[in-house]
Amino acid sequence: MGATTAEKTFATVAAVEAAAHAVWGGDWNHALSGREWAGSVDGRRSVLDAVERLGLHVATATSPHQIEDLLSFAGESRLSDHDAYVVEVASVTSVE
């Protein structure tokens, strides 16, 4: 699957892209903007490139993080360092 964070991210992104009509969820451990703390710049680029290629919307991209100036967490107390999110999606069927 890969030795580096970037290689692991590349492999995971490729697997998710191969799944038709998938909803991505989970923690990529990559900041999508600003300073990169846990992931890699190459891994971030891989995720963002796939988001663009697939025309996706990242519902939590601007949600605040537990650490000031990072994104993906809100609130003063927590059970985990990961929040749960509910996102409503609609299926779009093309008519030919």
Burial status of residue 10 (CB atoms within 10 A of its CB: 0-12, 13-18, 19 or more): buried
Give the Cβ contact number of residue 52 at 10 Å. Answer: 9
Position 16 scores a pLDDT of: 81
CB 48 within 8 A of CB 57: no
* pTM, two decimal places: 0.64
- Does position 36 have pLDDT exceeding 60, yes or no? yes
Please state, rounded to an integer, the average pLDDT across all residues of the chain: 75
Cα–Cα distance between 20 and 39 in angstroms, integer? 26
pLDDT tens for each residue of 46-79: 989 988 988 888 877 777 666 666 555 545 555 4
pLDDT band at 15 (very low <50, low <70, confident <90, very high): confident
How do the domains of the chain map onto residue ranges? 1-96
